[in-house]
């Protein structure tokens, strides 16, 4: 039994956030949710409804936390591949920059100002997408970024931001390149149609257990990049060795377990 910790989870009302809140609460941790909408499963006094750009609210929510799990983000490109004019817009300036670039800066600044010792940042396998497309797998934490598109570029920034705050401010930071935890039936159908997608599938249960392990693990390195997926079906795509070594976590599920739990 680990000591209960106070944990701030941003993006707590989202697909992965709800799974993380559920797992942490089941393990007895004191969870505070932070999202622009109420977090299911948390009482109103522990479900902060605010945006990442509300610096005062963010700092109030982070006060006393032993760990921040930062999930809040715009979770993909609005459109990729690009359409033809006039339907060739993107969401970079309108959503990706405020939510995925400025927002994480405020999260890391809150951690620095309040002395939060540990932050776990949700990155994505889309930062190494180019390796997967050229058949270079399994990818490792050392694989250089080959981002898929603009959303993935913001996650490359997120990883760099975490590394800087670890080195310059002594915060223990883990950036996890997450596999695909589908948010709706359309995404489940997409995963069903591709072997690569099935191999990088991440079940809500494995996601919850991964982040709980990241909260509870002792002796983390100052900064680490890890991967999190469920067990592969066809071929190993993401090398989970370092994740297992650092956190003592291993996935339990395999596609399609949990894929339709929205």
Ligand X SMILES: NC(=O)c1ccc[n+]([C@@H]2O[C@H](COP(=O)([O-])OP(=O)(O)OC[C@H]3O[C@@H](n4cnc5c(N)ncnc54)[C@H](O)[C@@H]3O)[C@@H](O)[C@H]2O)c1
Question: Interface with ligand X by CB under 6 A: which residues?
Answer: 11, 13-17, 35-37, 51-52, 71-73, 75, 99, 103, 122, 124, 178, 180-181, 183
Helix, coil or strand: residue 183: coil
CB of 86 to ligand X, least distance (A): 27
Q: Which of 122, 126, 177 is nearest to 151 (CA)?
A: 126
CB of 81 to ligand X, least distance (A): 19
Take residue 187 and report the two structure tokens written for it: 């995404």
| Pick 165 or 211: Cβ nearer ligand X | 211
Known catalytic residue: 105?
no
CB of 10 to ligand X, least distance (A): 6
Which residue in the block uniquely carries the two structure tokens 């006393």?
A: 64
Instruction: Write down the catalytic residue from 34, 151, 165, 238.
Output: 151
The helix-helix angle for 15-26 and 204-216 (nearest 10°) equals 60
Which residues pair with residue 201 across a beta bridge? 180
Helix, coil or strand: residue 124: strand
Give dist(CA 257, CA 262) in Å, integer: 12
Q: Which of 180, 146, 145, 186 is nearest to 163 (CA)?
A: 145
Q: How many CB atoms lie within 10 A of CB 212?
A: 22
Q: Which of 105, 133, 108 is nearest to 118 (CA)?
A: 108
CB of 118 to ligand X, least distance (A): 17
Helix, coil or strand: residue 5: coil
| Pick 73 or 215: Cβ nearer ligand X | 73
- Using Cβ positions, the residue closest to ligand X within the complex turns out to be 14
Residues carrying an active site annotation: 151
């Amino acid at each position: 039994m680990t000591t209960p910790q106070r944990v701030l989870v941003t993006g707590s009302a989202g697909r992965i956030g709800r799974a993380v809140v559920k797992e942490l609460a089941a393990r007895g941790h004191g969870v505070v949710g932070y999202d622009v909408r109420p977090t299911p499963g948390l009482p109103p006094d522990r479900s902060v409804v605010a945006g990442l750009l509300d610096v005062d609210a963010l700092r109030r929510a982070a006060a006393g936390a032993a760990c921040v799990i930062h999930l809040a983000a715009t979770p993909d490109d609005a459109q990729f591949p690009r359409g033809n004019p006039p339907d060739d817009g993107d969401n970079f300036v309108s959503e990706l920059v405020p939510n995925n670039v400025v927002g994480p800066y405020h999260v890391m600044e809150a951690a620095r100002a309040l002395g939060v010792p540990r932050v776990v940042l949700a990155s994505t396998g889309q930062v190494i997408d180019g390796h997967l497309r050229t058949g270079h797998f399994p990818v490792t934490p050392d694989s250089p970024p080959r981002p898929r598109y603009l959303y993935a570029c913001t996650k490359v920034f997120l990883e760099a931001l975490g590394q800087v705050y670890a080195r310059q401010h002594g915060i223990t930071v883990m950036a996890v390149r997450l596999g695909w935890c589908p948010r709706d039936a359309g995404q489940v159908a997409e995963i069903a149609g591709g072997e690569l997608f099935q191999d990088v599938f991440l079940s809500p249960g494995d996601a919850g257990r991964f982040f709980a392990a990241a909260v509870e693990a002792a002796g983390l390195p100052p900064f680490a990049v890890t991967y999190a997926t469920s067990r592969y079906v066809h071929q190993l795509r993401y090398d989970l060795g370092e994740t297992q070594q650092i956190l003592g976590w291993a996935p339990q599920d395999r596609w399609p377990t949990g894929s339709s739990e929205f």
